[in-house]
Every structure is written in C-alpha cells, then in structure tokens.
Amino acid sequence: MMKKTQKLNRRDFIKLSSVASAALPFALSGFPLFANEKPKEYSFLEDNENILVLIQLQGGNDGLNTVFNLNQYDNLQSVRSNIIIPENELLEIDAVTRFHPSMFGMKDIWEQEKLSVIQNVGYPNQNRSHFRSTDIWNSASNANEYVSSGWIGRFFDVNHSEFPTDYPNTENPDPFAITIGKIVSETCQGTSANFSMALTDPENPGTALVSNTGAIPNNCYGDALTFVNETVAQTNAYAEVIKTAANAGNNLSTKYDSSDLSEKLKNVARLISGGLKTKVYVVQIGGFDNHDNQVVDGETKTGKHADLLEELSSAMNAFQDDLQLLNVDDKVIGMTYSEFGRRIRSNGGFGTDHGTAAPLFLFGSCVKDQILGDAPEIDTAVDINEGVQMQFDFRNIYSTILTDWLGATKSDVNTILFNDFDALPLFKDGCSARLSTNNFLSKELEINVFPNPFLDSLNITFIGNNEMVKITLYNTIGAVIKQITNQKYSNLQHTINVNLQNLPKGNYFILYQSKEISKTKKVLKY
C-alpha cells in the first residue's frame, strides 16, 4: 500500500505561479509538480520497443449498448424497451455475440483477428462518481485508498526515479509518454513528476520562454517558479525530437476521417513511424455520460451513443490499418477504458445512469482474438440501481500489460499495483513474454451455487486446482458484502456452506477468482 502523501495540486500551483509566467498553462500541460517520496527500489529491464496506446472513454460507456449476447437479449429488451436496438440491426461477431451497428470498424478489426473483448471489467466497491472512479482507474488503487501517482507513472519511476531532473539526456532523448491533448494524463503521474507531455500538434509542439532570469527567492513562490523554468526548458528540448519525428513520420491509411479521435490516433501513428521512442500514448474521447437522449426515440440504433461508438470504432480501425501499412503493427497495442459502465435498466429519458462493470477492448496484431469472460447475466426483476457485476478486476489487465507487453517482472508489478494480480491470457503465442499459461484455462470451470434462490444459507461447490481461491459476495451496486474465502485449495472438489441468515432479501453476486480465472454467479435471497 502506498502511503498517503500531500501534493501541490493544480489550483495551488496556479495560485502560486500565475504571476510568474504567461506561458504557465503550457508548462502545466507538461509536468505537474508533486512533493512525494521516491519509490522503494525495484528494477526490471526496459529492453523492448513495445508501445501502449490508451484510449479513455470519458463519461462511462454503456457496455450493454455496445456488446450484445443473444442469449440475454430478450431479458435485456424487457428492461431497456425504450433504448434497445432491434436484434436484426446488430452486427454479427459470432454465434451469440453482436456489436452495436455503428461499430463496423471494430468488426473489421475482429475479422482480422486483432481484437479482444474482455467482458465485465471493473473493481470491488465500485464508486459511481466520475472523478473518483477515474482516479481509481488511473492510479490502480483500491476504492477506499487515495494514491496521487498513476500506474504508468510508477512503471517509469522504476528506472527513472530522478525524473525530471537531467531529462532529456543522451540515453533518454524522447518523452516517456505523450498525451494527445491539452492536459497530461494522471495515469502517467510519477511520485515526483508526470512522465507524459501534453501535445496537440506534432508539427508545431511549441516552445516557451523561461519566465524569469533574475534572482529566484528562497520560498514557496521561488520553488514554483524554478519548477516552471525547468519544465519550460525540458519541454523545449522534447519539442525538437517530436518535431523531427513528425517530419520523418508518415500516414498511409486512407481510412482516417475528420473526427477528433481519428486525428489524435493519426498523429500517434505518425510519431511512431517517425521513430519516436515514446512508450505510452494517451488519447481521450468524451461524451459517454448519456443520462438522456442516448438514443433517438423510435430509431434506437442512432443517437449520441451511436455517434460516439462510430467515432471510436472507425478511428481504431484506421489506426490499426495505418500501423500495418507502416509495418510497425507488431510493436503497438491499444486499450480502451472508461470509469464505469451503466445501469442495466434504462431510465425514462432514453438514457442510462452510472453503473459498475463494462467491456474493455484490446486491439493489435499481437492481441489474442477472443471474447474473454461471460455475457452479463440479465433478469427481468433487475433493481433500478443494479449494474453489470465485475468478473475481471481491471488491475489483472494492467498486470498482464506490464509483464507481458512492457517488460516488468511479476515482483515489479506487485509493487506497482500494490498487490498480487494474476495475469490473463491476452496475447497471441510468440507475443507474450510469458513462456507458458495455466493449462487449467483450457478446462471448463464449473462452480455450482445452490440452492438458488436461498433462504438462510447457500452452498458453493468448486474444484480447487491447488491454487489460491478467493470467493466474494457482492450486492447489486458492486459493494463487497462478505469475503467468503481467500485461501489455497487442493485439486479436489470442495463445498463451502455460507450462513447468510441476516442478509436482507434481494439479488446478490458470488465472484469466484483463482489463477487466471474469474466467474460470477447471480443469487437471490427470498
């Protein structure tokens, strides 16, 4: 667990430094200042050229209006009658899976076997505040812990804990991370500085003048002013290598359109092809908080959400096409994430409200083409506040990317993520850094929960497989109600009897987690 620390936040920093330099907003978009301890020493080899592109879906994407399962469609229609898309309008992915009709670009990536759909991704004790839940995703903290650094920032801190002092340098001439936009991403916040640089135009990254060349006072104002000067000088140095890469780079795909996200990913592809060694890029697309008018009444395949999914899907497809034409697709993967999904029931305004888990997409030539996880279980008696229950903790995905793609060891990742999160089978053979995967994954896991519905107690039967098994009881809004077990079980069938006599009546979820395996079962107490 990381210690709680104090930081000079944006508002304080602006108050302290706004009189010092008219160029400060530009400097702020580069590297926010944090007064914090250095991380404990741990190391790994940063010896690959793999690149991660994060696509943040701001506002909370409605996963149930994004990926459909025909086995759940009738029940979903009964609780979303005013926004449901007709079944014959959906895009066919496999025998039971369908995409929103606006996602033809993502369907194209799927047909190229370069897309992974990970169902029901979230975290325990889901927070339904945009700001707090975004902080949790960016920091990879527990829901009840406040951590000022981001998971990517801590990754870079491993080998570059002195950053930003004496950076860039001969060994590290390029930015570690770039946010395409005006404000850096908190995912890249290290313990002392943000490792990402905000960039809007690669051809004109801009330079700034040092704000003060005279004597700098030895006080808080002077500290802020010194930080501004150092940031400006560093930003100017990075601007040169970015401009060089932009001039050397190229775009070959004709699939890009004029959308904001398409332009952002186009710039990323150009910088990568131009030889920039930046390891992480972050782009954002906003507008997913659709409490009303998510769809057009009577034309439910159209509306605000349809437009957003088309922009996302088309931009991803153009970007992947460009990477392949540029012959750099084997070293780039992309990942979408959003702060939460939406509730299962639609509201009266043709929209949806803040929920819990949602599907997450990985794409790239090295990404395993699969639908990982189960379709969300829908019933017609769903509570108005109920969201899709978590099957995979998002930190299991982070753990996999850190080890299998970015090159961290398992012990490094446990420190970066503050806990032990097993990796998942997300990459194709030959792409993953891991030499083997768990053979148990190839077996069909059967977890029986009975009786269901239950009155005072229920039984959970499972096979232990000589692994740690964690079983947790959740309520319908994603809060942990009871930790049923968390211990190692032998390779035999086991049955746990759980006394829930004092539990209020209603719907609940049992989450089983073992090595690379997660299963969710819905139960009803009457």
Is there a cis peptide before residue 164, judged by omega within 30 degrees of 0? yes
Residue 276 domain-assigned? yes
Residues 240 and 169 in one domain: yes
Compute, in degrees rounded to 10, the torsion defined by CA atoms 212, 214, 215, 217: -30
What pLDDT digit, counting tens, does each position of 467-524 carry? 899 999 999 999 999 999 999 999 999 999 999 999 999 999 999 999 878 999 999 9
Does residue 450 share a domain with residue 312? no
Task: Assess if residue 2 is contained within a domain.
Answer: no
My answer on whether 411 and 466 are in the same domain is no
Same domain membership, residue 458 and residue 374: no
Does residue 487 belong to any structural domain of this protein? yes
Q: Coil, strand, or helix at residue 462?
A: strand
pLDDT of residue 517: 87
pLDDT digits (tens, 9 = 90+) for 373-403: 999 999 999 999 999 999 999 999 999 999 9
**100 and 207, same domain (yes or no):** yes
Tokens 């506040």: give the residue. 385
Separation CA 352–CA 304 (nearest Å): 12
Per-residue pLDDT at 438 exceeds 60: no
In a domain, 441, yes or no: no
- Of 463, 467, 466, nearest to 496 by C-alpha is 463
User: 110-131: per-residue pLDDT in tens?
Assistant: 999 999 999 999 999 999 999 9
Which value, in Å, is the radius of gyration of the alpha carbons in the chain?
24
Q: What is the pLDDT of residue 5?
A: 39
Q: What are phi and psi of 514, to 5 degrees?
A: -140, -170
Please name the residue that has the structure tokens 């096409």: 321
211 within a domain of the structure (yes/no)? yes
CA atoms within 13 A on the CB side of 254: 0
Total domains present in the chain: 2
C-alpha–C-alpha distance, residues 31 and 195, integer Å:
7
Asked if residue 363 and residue 476 are part of one domain, the reply reads no
What is the distance between the alpha carbons of residues 415 and 40, in angstroms, rounded to a whole number?
9
In a domain, 4, yes or no: no
pLDDT in tens, 6-48: 334 433 343 333 333 323 333 333 333 333 333 333 234 456 8
In this structure, the answer to whether residues 271 and 402 fall within a common structural domain is yes
Q: Which domain holds residue 463?
A: 446-525
